[in-house]
Structure 1
Amino acid sequence: MTTLYRCITEDDTLQFCHRVSEALSKGWSLHGNAAMAFDPVKGVMRMAQPVTKEVAVDYHPELKLGQQ
């Protein structure tokens, strides 16, 4: 088994919640707390949520994490 890691990032909008919810529905697990930071260039809050997933494939750099 291989543990995959990804960090979902998005402006603080409903879209962020949908992206995290979709990952959870595909078997990903929350890995720590979400983080929030202000983006002064865009003038918006940005969100980040790390997630992990155990898979039965060998890791390689070309692996499409969001499709696992």
Structure 2
Amino acid sequence: MKIYRLLTEEDTSAFCHKVSEALSKRWELYGDPTYAFDHANGIMRCAQAVTKEIDGDYHPDMKLGQQ
């Protein structure tokens, strides 16, 4: 089964590290990254969707970051 995550972070190297860590755990990029200005905090935010094939069924209590 395929599971989905949306990684988000402030537009700093921390975002790149978060995506790189997911890729090292065999997550795959899904679509293009997106950027948006966070008016409340005056910063840019990034988002990247990732997917991964896993054995078994999806459960809402899964810790997707630990997959």
**TM-score range normalised by the length of the shorter chain:** over 0.9
* 1:8-58 CA distance string (max 9 Å, x none): 000001000000000000000000000000001110000000000000021
1:1-68 equivalent positions in 2, closer than 5 A: 2-68=1-67
Structure 1, unpaired ranges of 5+: none
Q: Aligned pairs, how many?
A: 67
Q: Percent identity?
A: 60
The normalised TM-score by structure 1 is 0.97
Structure 2, unpaired ranges of 5+: none
RMSD over equivalenced CA pairs, Å: 0.4
Q: Which runs of 4+ in 1 moved over 6 A?
A: none
